[in-house]
Amino acid sequence: MTRVNTVLGTISASELGFVAIHEHIGYGMPGCELDSKWWKTPEQRYEETVPKLRQFHENTKPWGAATFVEATGICNGRDIDYYKSLSDKTGVHIVASTGFVGGDTALPFFERASVEYLTDQFVHEITVGIGDTGAKAGIIKVGVSRGFKMKELDLRIYRAAARASKITGAPIFTHLAVDSGPALNIFAEEGLPCHRVLFGHADDGVSQGLINEKALLDAGARIGFDTFGYDLELPDPPFWGRHRRERLQHFLRFLESGLIKQVLASADANCSPLGWPGVKGHTVNYLFEQLIPDLHAEGIEDSVINQLFIHNTAEFLSLTPNPEH
Amino acid sequence: MCVKHSQGALEPLPPFTSLILDPPINEGVNATLVNTVLGPVDARQLGITLVSESLMYVLPGARYAYDIKIDRAAVFDAVAAKLSAFRAAGGRTIVDATGMFQGRDLRLYEALSHATGVHIVASTGQGPESMLGGYFLTPQTNPPTPWPASKFAELFGKEVNDGMVAPRLERRAPAGMVVTAVTHSGMTPTDDNLVRGAARAGATYGVPVFIRSGADALAEMQLAIDEVLEPERLVMGGMDRRDAVVKGWPLAVARAGVRLSIDHIGTNDSLYLSDAERVSLISELIEKGFADRILLSASATGVAFGEPGNDIPYSDVLTKFVPMLQAAGVSQAHIVQMLITNTAQLLSVNGEVK
């Protein structure tokens, strides 16, 4: 039996269908809620979000179902009740995260917390629920603070995530794949097999040259090409953007080297950003409108696409408690 | 307290026009009005006022903790009981001086004020750096430059001019004071920007500015005054800290024409004076002619989440500390001045009271 936590309940991995493994309904840095320049009415928020999710649902019809993994951590505007209503009304499965996007998004209460407390927080959110929403988190978010260097608080969060993953079986995904040495050490020390960890944003424009891909692959970790669509060809690309062709070639090198089981892909788009302008024209549906046609044009078979978006994701998201625990 | 983030860059010298905020709404407003959560109140009606208290304190992030439940009905009852006791002891006004990001809940405060008859003044502002969210410290820009003073001035100023925020929902009543704080171990570049931003917002919109002192209160005070904030519109907090007294800050602050806040009445530990020592400090300041500079408060936490509260009743300043002042020979007139006149002048928008 396989089990995956979605905001509307635990389901079999067989029900997930097409999975976008790293996306956002809305992300904002902690404190942005105080700045009214970003506020939107509920009407506007639903108006910006619902059509994108409905289109996503429509695009996944050939695969039978749509799953949207929401990568917004604690303190970043994560809003479970809102996700529940969106999921219920659009039919898209939404998997919510526990954890933090990085140490610099953990507010003072969590900054002061021990590894043990952070572990308890993550385990509670995965096994009991998030706040009083009744919804359980399905994945643990960790990440590297700004500056491309792991900070002490980042490491504390990684260690707590490793322990929570072993206890609950929930996978971990990271914000950034840079400075991965300390992360791999922590996972080794904690005895967490690295195939339970997706090192994300390995494809972004600012990380190139800073990622030790070989170390990640040798450790058995998964690699995320999960910022598809942040193309420098956009009218107003973000600073982490990259030329579309260059990202695609990078991705194809992985697909052609027999490492496909270790690769996951997504768009990291915001349906309705919370504390920043967002990137106009970029949605989760880039995967269907641009990426999959690009892959087909390169001669990539449907079986490979299914491997990436159906099988790898289902295996990764299935709660897999560590038997040693 | 550790400083969470890399040191922020100092703000480059801004063009002159960037120092000009939107003009105050209701320019030439009746100068005797005070911004409370239920709207403007004549300063003469404030009565006995404590300027540095907390109604509901929530350490940033604590509301997401798996083991913290905030029962609003229970919070209401607990704080209402403390406010009612304060009122029964003769108190009339409480300033919630924890700023915009440490549990301030305007709808709760409005209901508490209605229910207890105590005027509640809520504050804008944030600080020190370690209390800020990543939005202000590592924004989504490359590089992630922390916020400059001009942006803090605008954020805080809007809370006075347009109303305080219920996050992502609406603005409610205007803030009555701007509060910031400086890191105890020393001012960080972001603390510097917070102080200057707070001073600029206060100077523009006529509300007082309260700074919780860091390692060098006199330098922090000067930083605010240099932003063209009138000294009498500025309060330096924590003047009953032991190190403050050792360094001679209370007298130096008073001499500069700035208000000083004896704001941990009822707390006696390695950091703060005992109440008996507070009485001596106050007597000395009055003797030197600075009664018009002194403000009294307890920094009591009505309820606290995420870190321990202090369980000090707001009424203790009146029922326990004022008798100590009287016993030490402080006159009734001076006690009235510290608890009623000074606070009314301070909280009056534009700083005048008839």
To probe the interface with A, which of B72, B140, B183 has the most A CB atoms within 10 Å? B140
Domains identified in chain B, total number: 1
Give per-residue burial for A195-219: e unless 16+ CB within 10 Å, then b.
bbbbbbbbbbbbbeeebbbeebbeb
Residue whose pair of structure tokens reads 């405060």 in the numeric block: B109
Cα separation of A12 and A22, whole Å? 19
B166 close contact with A: CB closer than 8 A: no
Give the residue on B whose Cα is nearest the Cα of A110.
Answer: B61
Going by pLDDT thresholds of 50, 70 and 90, the confidence category of residue B141 is: confident
Instruction: With CB atoms and an 8 Å threshold, state whether A120 touches B66.
Output: yes
Amino acid at B77: D
**Which chain B residues are closer than 8 Å to A239 by Cβ?**
141-142
B101 close contact with A: CB closer than 8 A: yes
Q: Name the residue among B3, B21, B5, B2 with its Cα closest to residue B146.
A: B5
Cα separation of A71 and B92, whole Å? 48
Per-residue pLDDT, B3: 44
Domains identified in chain A, total number: 1
Q: Mean pLDDT in chain B? A: 93
What is the tens place of the pLDDT at every residue in B329-350?
A: 999 999 999 999 999 999 999 8
Give the residue on B whose Cα is nearest the Cα of A74.
Answer: B64
* β-bridge pairing B33-36 and B39-42: antiparallel
CATH number for B230 = 3.20.20.140
Amino acid at B76: F
Asked whether the beta carbons of B146 and B193 are under 8 A apart, the reply is yes
Q: Which domain holds residue B140?
A: 30-347
Q: Is the pLDDT of residue B98 over 80?
A: yes
- If contacts are CB pairs under 8 Å, which of residues 112-131 in chain B contact chain A? 130-131
Domain contains A323: no
Q: Is the pLDDT of residue B24 over 70?
A: no
Instruction: With CB atoms and an 8 Å threshold, state whether B136 touches A31.
Output: yes
Q: In this prediction, what percent of chain B has a pLDDT beyond 90?
A: 88
CATH number for A165 = 3.20.20.140
Positive or negative, the CA dihedral B332, B334, B339, B344 is positive
Q: Is the pLDDT of residue B5 over 60?
A: no
Domain contains B105: yes
What global pTM score does this model have? 0.94
Q: Is the pLDDT of residue B2 over 90?
A: no
- Inter-chain contacts counted by CB atoms under 8 A, chains A and B: 97
Pick from B65, B135, B141: which is nearest to A275 by CB? B135
Pick from B101, B134, B143: which is nearest to A104 by CB? B134
Domain contains A67: yes
Burial class (CB in 10 A: 0-12, 13-18, 19+), A301: exposed
**Which chain A residues are closer than 8 Å to B124 by Cβ?**
none
* β-bridge pairing A139-143 and B165-166: unpaired
B308 close contact with A: CB closer than 8 A: no
Which parts of chain A sit beneath pLDDT 50? none
Per-residue pLDDT, B268: 87
Q: In angstroms, what separates the C-alpha of B212 from chain A's closest C-alpha?
A: 18
Domain contains A322: no
Q: What is the DSSP letter of B321?
A: I
Going by pLDDT thresholds of 50, 70 and 90, the confidence category of residue B32 is: confident
Instruction: With CB atoms and an 8 Å threshold, state whether A131 touches B64.
Output: yes
Q: In angstroms, what separates the C-alpha of A298 from chain B's closest C-alpha?
A: 34
Going by pLDDT thresholds of 50, 70 and 90, the confidence category of residue B18 is: low
Q: Which domain holds residue A136?
A: 4-317
Q: In angstroms, what separates the C-alpha of B76 from chain A's closest C-alpha?
A: 20
Per-residue pLDDT, A287: 98
Instruction: With CB atoms and an 8 Å threshold, state whether B66 touches A121.
Output: yes
Domain contains B353: no
A109 close contact with B: CB closer than 8 A: yes
What ipTM is given for this predicted complex? 0.96
Domain contains A325: no
A191 Rama class: left (phi>0) / alpha (psi -120 to 50) / beta: left
Per-residue pLDDT, B22: 75
